[in-house]
Amino acid sequence: MSPVKKIFSCIWMFLFVFLSSFLKIIPLRSHRHTRFLFSSSYNRFPTFLVVLLWVLFFSLPQVSASVSSFTTFSVNVNGFRDVAKHSSLSNIIHTHHPHAWVFSETKSHTPVSSRMDVRGYKIFESPGLKTNARSVKWGILAGVHSSLATQQVQIPSDLSGRVLAIDIVLPTTNGHGFVHRLIGLYAPYDPGTDSDRLHTFWQQIRTLCQSALHSWQIIGDCNATVSSCEVQGDASGSNNARLAYHRFLDALQGIDVWSRQGDNDARYVWTYQAYNGTCRSILDRCAHSSNHIIASSIKVPGYFVPGTDHRLIVTVLHCGIPNNSADSVLLPPTEHPVYAPYRPRFLFPKRQESHRFKAFADRVDGLVHDAHLVLTPIQNDDQYQKLYSALSQILQHAAEDSFELPHLPHMGPRKPRNSLISLLLREYSRVNRLISAIKRQTLHILCTHHQNLGHTFWS
């Protein structure tokens, strides 16, 4: 018996002794009104009540969440210089609030996380690598909701720019949590490269998955298909990539979500389409461990992301909570912040506050002058992006100084609550009501009232 159950057992024993001291306990006998749960006689009700409470307590299951769902968004962005792309992805994240998101192939050797306007997320990044003075390849950007504890996993140096691994503690309703490993990746794609490079890459990914404490998940552009139906048009799936991916799954007994779901037909759903529209295929994938994931799903929701030939995918994993306490960690109670679905809009000034507009304009002029942006040349995309970001920050700071934001209501910390706590509190309230009725000598009135209503006190 657990310590918590021992404590409640003592409480019920105390209630039994307390009620017994007030009334004479006599065994239940057959009665002609056997169709009623409660007899109208005053001295039989406490016996039935105590027995019922005792049986009810020991029949209560240890209620807790047995499944924790985890939602991830992923897309191959095919470069990360387009301002419209930044805005589109930021709006998608703000609107749907996934637990995590992974963007592959940023094609930038410098960090690009500042280009994303995402509040409430911890950002992780593995910048791309330069191929020459003007070209950059690969690059991974990922975010995890700030309410989840995270730790970035160290990866081999030859996976830099291709792989990003994060350990995430998923909380449970009983105050514990378990570690789920998220691996965002951009797999090699070069039909002219020999198969050893592909197999080496997937062997390193397998090592990262094997070292996970509980469950693991890979998501991103795997550049591999698992069957011929996942390719349509003049594209041909790489046999080397397919073989390497299958070996990876077989070695770990992993599950490919597209294959498990059974709707991986490029005629109806695809994640990649060539710009000329001649071929479609399913290259963006998700795979996960088989022994700790109860169910999973994947879909292409059709959210518009400009400037890329890939489509965004959404995966939902239902993770089983470990039975072994050694596989879980105890989480301290925290206050869960409430995030607005978008950045709060500034309040439009009242008629008598029209001076705020002039103050805003003057503030913008002053900040632009201080930053020397008027004469800044624009000769390439990087200079345009730098000027655009600087002007955006100036407008934001000037608006904060000149206008007012709506006041959010104060949200106090949430009380810890789950199914077991709610049930115990409800039964505790009913017991208190019965004790009060006994002290006031109105127990028969309470019983009569509930019998007249057609249900028992415990229904």
Question: Average pLDDT in the 3-20 region?
Answer: 54
Q: Which has more pLDDT, 379 or 409?
A: 379
Calpha distance 57→248 (Å, rounded)? 49
pLDDT class of 123 with cuts at 50, 70, 90: very high
Lowest mean pLDDT among 56-65, 188-197, 442-451: 56-65
Give the residue, 277 or 262, on which the prediction is more confident.
262
130 pLDDT higher than 80: yes
Query: Contact at 8 Å (CB) between 309 and 299?
Result: no
Record the tokens describing residue 151, joined without a space: 């730790």
Which domains can be identified in the chain, with CATH numbers? 3-63+419-452 (no CATH), 67-330 (3.60.10.10), 351-402 (no CATH)
- Per-residue tokens: 213: 């404490």
Q: What is the mean pLDDT of residues 345-369?
A: 91
- Which 8-state DSSP code applies to residue 41? S
pLDDT at 263: 86
Please, which pLDDT band fits residue 162 given cuts at 50, 70 and 90? very high
The pLDDT value recorded for residue 233 is 80
**Residue 275: which pLDDT band, with cuts at 50, 70 and 90?**
confident
pLDDT at 45: 47
Q: Give every CB contact of residue 225 below 8 A, 6+ residues apart in sequence.
A: 231, 237, 241, 242, 281, 282, 283
pLDDT attached to residue 254: 95
As a whole number of angstroms, the distance between CA 204 and CA 191 comes to 20
Query: In 134-236, where do the E strands start and end?
Result: 136-137, 140-145, 149-153, 163-171, 176-186, 215-221, 231-233
pLDDT at 393 over 60: yes
Residue 55: pLDDT band (50, 70, 90) is: low
pLDDT of residue 50: 53
The residue among 131, 139, 239 whose CA lies nearest residue 191 is 239
At residue 98 the predicted structure's pLDDT band, cuts being 50, 70 and 90, is very high
pLDDT at 6 over 80: no
pLDDT band of 61, cuts 50, 70, 90: very low
Q: Which long-range contacts (CB under 8 A, 24 or more apart) does 299-307 make?
A: 300/269, 300/270, 300/271, 303/88, 303/92, 304/88, 305/75, 305/77, 305/85, 305/88, 305/89, 305/92, 306/82, 306/84, 306/85, 306/88, 307/77, 307/78, 307/79, 307/82, 307/84, 307/85
pLDDT classification of 127: cutoffs 50, 70, 90: very high
pLDDT (mean) for 387-404: 90
Average pLDDT over residues 180-194: 83
Query: Which of 21-25, 34-38, 220-224, 298-302 bottoms out in mean pLDDT, i.e. has the lowest?
Result: 34-38
Return phi, psi of residue 392, to 5°. Answer: -65, -45
